[in-house]
Chains A and B, each alone.
Chain A
Amino acid sequence: MPQTIVTEELEITGRSGGAKPPSSSGGEGDDGSSGGSALPQRVYVTGITIGMGAILMFFMALVSAFIVRKGVSNDWRAFDLPRILWLNTLILLASSASIIHARRRLAKDDREGFHQWWAITTVLGLFFLAGQLIAWRQMVAAGLYVATNPSSSFFYVLTASHGLHLLGGIFALLYVGWLRLHKLTLSTATEVASLYWHFMDGLWVFLFLILLLGR
């Protein structure tokens, strides 16, 4: 039995180039253009760009709900945002700068410098998340829960959604920094991760402004 299976597969492989109508009956073989992976690296950049578009739509839906909900009702009560959000914002901006620096190191083939700055970025990202949790604790201490008021509801929804997406970014940073890559090259992987990281940064600044100015 195994014998038959093997022959069958051989036959399929043998026929491979020559599906019926075309022609490879002539000279079989490589045209010289060989590549290890069937996937061009740019597809990862395309993928993350589309993913960011989808994520942006999700946040735009939440933000437009924020604007509409505030506009249609008279139960909206403004509250003072936790001060630590300013610090968190600075930390996240700094992480964007450090990821740029990490990629510069990589371009100069300084692996050690790259890993250092990549690690700094990851730690800054974790600091940001910890800072967001502290902001939540301060909200709770001020008696502002999810259901207290639509203003606090939106605060929690927007920060939690952003935090979860940023957590995904941290996993990406860890994956790129510490795991062995198979199909991706390091250059593409860092490009994809840093695109997403800058996006998370810009998105946070946008959400922070909405929360700040839309109170």
Chain B
Amino acid sequence: MSSHAHSVHHAEAPKGFIRHYIFSLDHKIIGTQYILLGLSAVTIGMILSVLMRIHLGWPNAHIWGFANGIMTPEDYLRTVTMHGTLMVFFVLTTVPQSGFGNYFLPIQIGAPDMAFPRINMLSFWVTFLAMIVLLAAAFVPGGAPISGWTAYAPLSSIGEIAGPGQGLGQTLWVVSIALFCGASLMSGLNFLATTIDLRAKGLSLMRMPLTVWGWFITACLAVLAFGVLLAACILVLLDRLAYTSFFIPGGLSVSGQLLNHSGGSPLLYQHLFWFFGHPEVYIAILPGMGIISHVLSTFSRKPVFGYKAMVYSLSAIGFLSFTVWGHHMFISGMSPYSAIAFSVLTLVIGVPSAIKTFNWLGTLWGGRIQFTAAMLFAIGFVSLFVTGGLSGIFLAQPALDLYLHDTYYVIGHFHLIMGVAAIFAMFAASYFWFPKMFGRHMNETLGKIHFWCTFVGVYSIFMPMHYLGYEGDARRYSSTEAVHYMTEMHAVYLFISIAAIITATAQLFFYWNFFSSWIKGKKADQNPWHGTTLEWSVPTPVPHDNFGGKLPIIYRGPYEYSVPGMADDYVPQHLAPELVARAK
């Protein structure tokens, strides 16, 4: 009896370098391309954040790359914009979903490739183009825009008069994000169709690995949310280029000049933006939740605690994410009654989030835990998720948010839960799947040093920001010098800056580990972690069509670890029941 059935035509990889590595239709190459794109984006984004921290810590320091070495307030805001846009769109949205998801979703569901490989390739190259257009904004007259990653109207809508960078720079920004929307819609469509229709025989929905669930729900969010942002981008472009008044109110006077617009609604932009923006937060974190469940189970040698509860809570978070966008707008002049509704709905998200957290702890409980680098980052993720999530409960109260909005409290909150937690998931995924992707192990010792530096580092950076927030220190101020009560807190700024520089430097461990292991790391065998899911059933390097023309059959759930009465402590999903070795 063969556990591989469904013979299909065995496809060979194209031979030419360009068709094989550049314009590839293979989901594994495309996934790797996304990961490398994200790695370049995160590098630029991190350098920009260090430049900001240097300026905040040492306001008179000369900084390379700015006119006369001086970072003006406008330069600071440009840096904020580029840091935020690169990180949110080209790292957090791209790498966990389009990068790792592209690489592993088809393998984990037993499919030879994505449903629509050409659309997949197109998504990547449009994302690439979007990043080039975004980076180009920094090199045009006026430079990069100063309106942040949220590009609130009317600042983003009235053109050059709003400040340097609000001319061509802002136009390029909007075009870049519109392109990115198109790419994400295509990518989401591909993920959904693949998961719905190309699952291997026997792989029912409740047998899918939680990683697949994470990518699936995320793709639902992407498909529903990015169209709304695209609409907002088009209206902003028309306001800028065709002099319409969608978002620009009448009687607006900027720099002493009365603008010739009437009746537009800046609040409308915020509604459109955050209707996308809140699901976007979950687009960044849900794939991470899936990856973390996967890694925790593997290295605890235990099934995921409460698999179905994990699936339902993931879906609940995805659904609720469309009902809470107003909590970003408590101080926008929105009706206080709707603020109450948004506040309550936001608190409700705490319930599925708590289910997930307890189930992660339940997975660890009583397990035979292996503290690999991937496992450390997974546990770190849970820690960051709890810390960042708790401060979210405070921010969800309109009365508290009135005070804390636009302070460092918010910066600390969303960096911990959305930024760093998702980054930890990417690190966990890198250490975990590297042997399958490149046939070699990353260095574990370097990985553990990298973990501890990063873990202690990010807490040192972002926890003090909560205190700055309580003190009322406003975000996006380029300097503390002009505001008396902020000047008094300068020691805290200095501490954060030093922590940020050390943490950023510690990432060199990762870069070195990643690239040197790619070339000469320890050779990995097919299933180094003794995992149960399909990616470990195929040879390394994974063949062009994943299963060599024979699609697998699935016999059981994804996390059959330490099953009593079995010889091994793991039972792969694809192993026919009669082939499973029993304990003597």
The chain A residues found within 8 Å of chain B, CB to CB, are 9, 12-13, 15-24, 26-28, 30-31, 33-40, 42-43, 46-47, 50-51, 53-62, 65, 68-69, 72-76, 146-147, 150, 153, 157, 161
Q: Which of A30, A37, A153 contacts B244 (CB 8 A)?
A: A153
B245 at the interface (CB under 8 A from A): yes
Would you give the shortest CB distance from B201 to chain A, in whole angstroms?
Answer: 10
CA distance A103 to B23 in the complex (A): 36
Known contacts A28-B2, A50-B189; 20 additional CB pairs below 8 A are A12-B548, A16-B543, A16-B550, A17-B549, A19-B539, A19-B548, A20-B526, A22-B552, A30-B7, A38-B9, A43-B197, A46-B193, A47-B116, A54-B223, A61-B231, A62-B235, A65-B246, A72-B265, A73-B262, A75-B262
Are B192 and A31 in contact (CB-based, < 8 A)? no
CA distance A18 to B246 in the complex (A): 61
Are A15 and B548 in contact (CB-based, < 8 A)? yes
Are B3 and A73 in contact (CB-based, < 8 A)? no
Q: Which of A12, A59, A146 contacts B242 (CB 8 A)?
A: A146
On chain A, the residues within 8 Å of B264 by CB distance are 69, 73, 150
**Beyond A22-B537, A47-B115, is A54–B263 a contact (Cβ under 8 Å)?**
no
Are B223 and A53 in contact (CB-based, < 8 A)? yes
On chain A, the residues within 8 Å of B238 by CB distance are 146, 153, 157
Are B265 and A73 in contact (CB-based, < 8 A)? yes
Look across to chain B and name the residue whose beta carbon is closest to the beta carbon of A72.
Answer: B265
Are B537 and A58 in contact (CB-based, < 8 A)? no
Would you give the shortest CB distance from A29 to chain B, in whole angstroms?
Answer: 8
Sampled A-B contacts (19; CB under 8 Å): A20-B527, A22-B574, A23-B575, A24-B4, A31-B6, A38-B545, A43-B115, A43-B197, A46-B197, A47-B189, A47-B190, A50-B189, A50-B223, A57-B228, A62-B231, A62-B235, A72-B268, A153-B244, A153-B245
Look across to chain A and name the residue whose beta carbon is closest to the beta carbon of B269.
Answer: A65
Q: Which of A16, A46, A60, A62 contacts B547 (CB 8 A)?
A: A16
On chain B, the residues within 8 Å of A31 by CB distance are 2, 5-7
On chain A, the residues within 8 Å of B250 by CB distance are 73, 75
**Beyond A16-B10, A46-B192, is A68–B263 a contact (Cβ under 8 Å)?**
no
Are A21 and B572 in contact (CB-based, < 8 A)? yes
CA distance A55 to B227 in the complex (A): 7
CA distance A16 to B8 in the complex (A): 12
CA distance A153 to B236 in the complex (A): 12
Are A65 and B272 in contact (CB-based, < 8 A)? yes
On chain A, the residues within 8 Å of B263 by CB distance are 69, 72-76, 150
CA distance A28 to B4 in the complex (A): 10
**Most chain B beta-carbon neighbours within 10 Å: one of A13, A23, A61:** A61
CA distance A36 to B264 in the complex (A): 56
C-beta contact mask, B102-125 vs A, less than 8 Å → 1, else 0? Answer: 000000000111011000000000
On chain B, the residues within 8 Å of A38 by CB distance are 8-9, 111-113, 545, 551
On chain B, the residues within 8 Å of A69 by CB distance are 246, 263-265, 268
CA distance A56 to B9 in the complex (A): 37
On chain A, the residues within 8 Å of B232 by CB distance are 61
CA distance A120 to B161 in the complex (A): 52
Are A9 and B12 in contact (CB-based, < 8 A)? yes
**Beyond A47-B189, A47-B193, A54-B223, is A24–B6 a contact (Cβ under 8 Å)?**
no
Are A147 and B242 in contact (CB-based, < 8 A)? yes
Look across to chain B and name the residue whose beta carbon is closest to the beta carbon of A32.
Answer: B7
CA distance A93 to B9 in the complex (A): 43
CA distance A37 to B268 in the complex (A): 48
Are A24 and B2 in contact (CB-based, < 8 A)? yes
Are A33 and B548 in contact (CB-based, < 8 A)? no
On chain A, the residues within 8 Å of B8 by CB distance are 34-35, 37-38
Would you give the shortest CB distance from B98 to chain A, in whole angstroms?
Answer: 16
B258 at the interface (CB under 8 A from A): no
Q: Which of B6, B275, B576 contacts A33 (CB 8 A)?
A: B6
Look across to chain B and name the residue whose beta carbon is closest to the beta carbon of A33.
Answer: B6
Are B575 and A54 in contact (CB-based, < 8 A)? no
Would you give the shortest CB distance from A23 to chain B, in whole angstroms?
Answer: 5
The 5 closest A-B pairs by CB, nearest first: A16-B548, A73-B263, A58-B227, A75-B263, A61-B231
Are A23 and B2 in contact (CB-based, < 8 A)? yes
**Beyond A55-B227, A61-B228, is A24–B539 a contact (Cβ under 8 Å)?**
no
Are A50 and B576 in contact (CB-based, < 8 A)? no
**Most chain A beta-carbon neighbours within 10 Å: one of B4, B226, B552:** B4
CA distance A26 to B190 in the complex (A): 36
On chain A, the residues within 8 Å of B185 by CB distance are 54
Would you give the shortest CB distance from B329 to chain A, in whole angstroms?
Answer: 14
C-beta contact mask, B542-584 vs A, less than 8 Å → 1, else 0? Answer: 0101011111100000000000000000001011100100000
C-beta contact mask, B1-39 vs A, less than 8 Å → 1, else 0? Answer: 111111111101000000000000000000000000000
CA distance A128 to B245 in the complex (A): 29
CA distance A37 to B111 in the complex (A): 12
On chain A, the residues within 8 Å of B576 by CB distance are 22-23
CA distance A78 to B567 in the complex (A): 77
Q: Which of B210-236 contact A (CB under 8 A)?
A: 223-228, 230-232, 234-235
Q: Which of B498-553 contact A (CB under 8 A)?
A: 526-527, 537-539, 543, 545, 547-552
Would you give the shortest CB distance from B573 to chain A, in whole angstroms?
Answer: 11
On chain A, the residues within 8 Å of B453 by CB distance are none
Are A43 and B265 in contact (CB-based, < 8 A)? no
Are B548 and A58 in contact (CB-based, < 8 A)? no
Are A150 and B245 in contact (CB-based, < 8 A)? yes
Look across to chain B and name the residue whose beta carbon is closest to the beta carbon of A63.
Answer: B231
Are B550 and A17 in contact (CB-based, < 8 A)? yes
B414 at the interface (CB under 8 A from A): no
B149 at the interface (CB under 8 A from A): no
On chain B, the residues within 8 Å of A53 by CB distance are 223-224
On chain B, the residues within 8 Å of A37 by CB distance are 8-9
Look across to chain A and name the residue whose beta carbon is closest to the beta carbon of B111.
Answer: A38
Q: Which of A28, A57, A75, A157 contacts B234 (CB 8 A)?
A: A157
Q: Which of A13, A35, A65, A75 contacts B10 (CB 8 A)?
A: A13
On chain B, the residues within 8 Å of A73 by CB distance are 250, 262-265
B188 at the interface (CB under 8 A from A): yes
C-beta contact mask, B396-437 vs A, less than 8 Å → 1, else 0? Answer: 000000000000000000000000000000000000000000
B196 at the interface (CB under 8 A from A): yes
Look across to chain B and name the residue whose beta carbon is closest to the beta carbon of A9.
Answer: B12
